[in-house]
Structure 1
Amino acid sequence: MFHSEDSFSANYTEARRKFREAAADAGGELDSWLHPEAGPDGGEIFTDVAWIGPSAATKVLVLISATHGVEGFCGSGAQVDLMRRGEVTGDADDLAFLLIHAINPYGFAWLRRTTHENIDLNRNWVDYAQPMPVNEGYRALHPALCPAVWTDETRAAGELALQTSEREIGRDATRNAYGAGQWEYPDGLFYGGTAPSWSRQTQTAIFDRWLGKARKVAIVDYHTGLGPLGFAEPIVTAPVGSPAYRRARSWYGATTRSTAGGLSVGARIEGDGLTGAIKLLPHAEVTPMALEYGTLPRREVINANREDNWLHSHGDPRGDGAQATKGRLRDAYFVDRTDWKGMVIGQSLQVFRQAVSGLSED
């Protein structure tokens, strides 16, 4: 008997196996991209792709997991569930599905939000031929958020810096200060990098290979870590009133929010993958959306990221205490409970059907 909870996995290796098995059972055409780094067990890690549907389809629904690596536990489970329950099929004449599994396999395997370059992939889609954005707000917070030593005292000092900032400039402005992205501190949080990361280059190659014939594209990029426990907010980065925003709002409903409008649980970020996708597909009508599931309170999530960032910048990811740090980061992005997983599956299924309906409109 099929159980949705079985679609989730305990680690990257198990998730990859389940994805490839489900894609093969669904009649998918599989491909993979080998990552230059190894996983924590020394094994190879990959970004895998499944194309399900007519090769010449002009309408394509793209499902992406693990943009922020450790968030892949959620996204992979949702992808596998949709294939196992028979929602993803090749039956339609002009509709296909492109499932991208673990676009950031390093972060998924190592339980990191970032890539092996310490890059936040969702801040990496900027034009590196132009001057990088300057985030003065992050510059002021960086010393407290990313100390050279990690103790109860330095953790508390970072929390105090955030609280002080919230009193002085407000909660939303503080959220944007530390979360919008920064291109100045390679050992810092939400780092955008100095060049396209391996994951960005791989996603570009995947889009070039599979979406050249597409004329209407919907993208659902699975994310976790922000918002009320289990609730999934459909997030777009397109400006309020733009065609992409209006389409997303009409497809996914009134809970759809734009980071550009300041009402989303997400920060007003730069270099995000949704905007990047639109630029990669100038020949198509693109409706990109990030489905953001809530987990723990925001302060617990940011502290888990701070601790993991310290571990990889100043500590030993294989040393004593590393497993506990990794466990806290995993818990910040994946709630290993039946009720939470059920909310992931139910809302994923709803959004999937809404996207298919939207793509099918003339």
Structure 2
Amino acid sequence: MAGAAYFSSDYPEARRRFAEAAERAGARLTSYGHPERGPNGEELAADVAWLGPEDAGRVLVSLSGTHGVEGFCGSGVQVGWFDSGLAAEQDAGTAYMAVHAINPHGFAWLRRVTEDNVDLNRNFVDFAASLPDNPGYDELAEALCPPTWDDATIAATRGVLRAYAEEHGPSGLQAAVTNGQYVHADGIFFGGTAPTWSHLTLKRIFQRHLARAERVAVIDYHTGLGPRGHGERICPAAPDAPVLGRVRDWYGEDFTCPALGTSSATEIRGFNVIGMEEALPGVELTAVALEYGTLPTEEVKLALRADNWLHLHGDMTSAKGGAIKDQIREAFYQDADDWKEMIWERALETQRLALAGLAG
């Protein structure tokens, strides 16, 4: 079966196909039900499939849907890993854990954020301490998320963003917009004021299923950044972190690190690996995000801004609402066979290298 065939068209189909593929492969399923419902009243859940010995010392983890609508990508890889028979490549002492749709609300509603408008990958901060500030975002907040959304508003706000980039550079604009902010609850890249349901559930899953592991490799699937179809292996670690040595041993020089200035991503606050490490003290954790490009960055950010406006001020049942949902879907899921094949081939290579790294 070609890799493109493993990908689904919506959340209910993705969830069903994941469960069926896992069961055919002999994996054990556990579901963590979400308190809210999908757009058609469907149940939402983060589903976990475990293949291999329960007490495995080495575990390969694949994670989909950290950013909701980006879940199509990781879900397709997870279905393919089970249905292709490739999961059998793991040795007897290694288990595979697939976490499907850790942000199921965002996946089902075609949103990057959680049900409370929180970017899950900015939500793992210490909420008992002073939260990080982002003066750049504060300056741009009104332009990024205006109360109206039409051609004139889009053109005017683009002018504000370009002026900021001229003064601070393109990387300065990207950092201001995407690093994370904790003040504007109705804005984009909002990190929240408390742990979200998905935050707590991710920690619960890691604590429950990986308590006996000694070495864990994580591949967290993302889309929307970089050249179309290219899978950038991003290690969100400090420049002197030991994990960078392991990542280099496993993947050679085919990885990037925001802290080293080698990534298309900037350094962000509150990323989910922080929560994984907190859930697994003493475990050797080697995590990368596998980030696939879709559209040019400006178009992706425009789709995010449009979706934010729609859920605050618009009507999702209107023609304009439908067009915006098509726009954000295209920004994070290229429903084209060539794109899906690139996703699958890069994922296959990365997961095989991770398995070899775990065993080595």
Provide the rounded CA distance (Å) in 1 between the counterparts of 2:228 and 2:349: 18
* Secondary structure, counterpart of 2:130 in structure 1: coil
Q: 1:91 to 1:167 in 2, by over 3 A?
A: closer
Question: How far has the Cα of 1:91 moved from its partner?
Answer: 6.2
Determine the structure 2 residue equivalent to 1:60: 59
- Verify: 1:16 aligned to 2:15, yes or no: yes
For 2:75, the equivalent position in structure 1 comes to 76
Distance in 1 (CA, whole Å) between partners of 2:300 and 2:89 is 39
Paired position in structure 2 for 1:198: 197
What letter is aligned with 1:234? Answer: R
CA 1:276–1:259 in structure 2 vs 1: closer, same or farther (change >3 Å)?
farther
CA offset at residue 317 of structure 1?
2.6
Distance of aligned partners of 1:90 and 1:339 in 2 relative to their CA distance in 1, 3 Å threshold: closer
- Paired with 2:316 and 2:79, the residues of 1 have a C-alpha distance of 29
Q: 1:90 to 1:229 in 2, by over 3 A?
A: closer
In 1, Cα distance between equivalents of 2:280 and 2:318: 44
Other structure's SS at 1:157 match: helix
Q: Which runs of 5+ in 1 are unaligned?
A: none
Residues 275 and 260 of structure 1: CA distance in aligned 2, closer, same or farther (over 3 Å) = farther
Partner of 1:177: 176
Q: Which digits, 9 at most, give the CA deviation of each residue in 1:232-289, with x for residues without a partner?
A: 1000110223211121122123231111122211121000012321222112000010
TM-score, normalization: structure 1?
Answer: 0.97
SS of alignment partner, residue 56 of structure 1: coil
Identity, % of aligned pairs?
A: 47
* Other-structure match for 1:280: 279
CA spacing shift, 1:295–1:90, aligned 2, 3 Å: closer
Tell me the equivalent position of 2:312.
313
State the 1:48 CA deviation: 0.6
Paired AA for residue 294 in structure 1: G
Question: In 1, are the aligned partners of 2:114 and 2:120 still within 8 Å (CA)?
Answer: yes
Matched position secondary structure for 2:273: helix
Structure 2 match to 1:208: 207
- Corresponding residue of 2:36: 37
Number of the residue aligned with 1:249 = 248
Q: Give the 3 Å change call, closer, same or farther, for CA 65–241 of structure 1 in structure 2.
A: same
Quote the offset at 1:32 in angstroms: 0.5
Contact 2:66 2:121 in 1 (8 A): yes
Instruction: Deviation per CA, 1:152-210: give whole Å up to 9, x if none.
Output: 12212222122111110111111111100000011001000010001011111101110
TM-score (norm 2): 0.98
- Residue 88 of structure 2 aligns to a residue whose secondary structure is coil
1:359 deviates by: 0.2
Counterparts of 1:233 and 1:249, CA distance in 2: 14
CA distance in structure 1 between the partners assigned to 2:90 and 2:96 by the alignment: 11
AA aligned to 2:82 is: M
Q: Which residue in the other structure is 1:260 paired with?
A: 259
Are 1:238 and 1:275, in contact at CA under 8 Å, matched by a contact in 2?
no
Deviation at 1:104, TM superposition (A): 0.4
Could you tell me which runs of 5 or more consecutive residues in structure 2 were left unpaired when the two chains were aligned: none
Q: Secondary structure in 1 aligned to 2:87?
A: coil
Aligned to 1:332: 331
**Cα RMSD after superposing both structures:** 1.2
Cα distance 1:159–1:91, how it changes in 2: closer, same or farther (>3 A)?
A: closer
Name the amino acid aligned to 2:227. P
Q: Which residue of 1 aligns with 2:235?
A: 236
Letter in 2 for 1:199: S
Check the 8 A contact 1:277/1:288 in 2, yes or no: no
Partner residue in 1 for 2:104: 105
Contact kept, 8 Å, 2:233 with 2:291, in 1: the verdict is: yes
2:292 aligned residue = 293
Distance 2:258 2:72 in 1: 24
Asked if the contact 2:203/2:275 (under 8 Å) is kept, the reply is no
Write out the 4+ residue segments of structure 1 that deviate beyond 6 Å after TM superposition: none
Aligned to 1:353: 352
CA distance in 2, matches of 1:159, 1:166: 10
Contact 1:52 1:89 (C-alpha < 8 Å) held by counterparts: no
Instruction: State the distance in 2 between where 1:206 and 1:166 align.
Output: 41
Distance in 2 of aligned mates of 1:263 and 1:160: 28
- Bigger drift between 188-197 and 236-245 goes to 236-245
Q: Distance in 1 between matches of 2:212 and 2:270?
A: 25
Task: Report SS of the residue matched to 2:223.
Answer: strand
| Cα pair 1:53 1:90 within 8 Å, conserved | no
Letter in 1 for 2:109: W
What secondary structure is seen at the aligned counterpart in 2 of 1:100?
strand
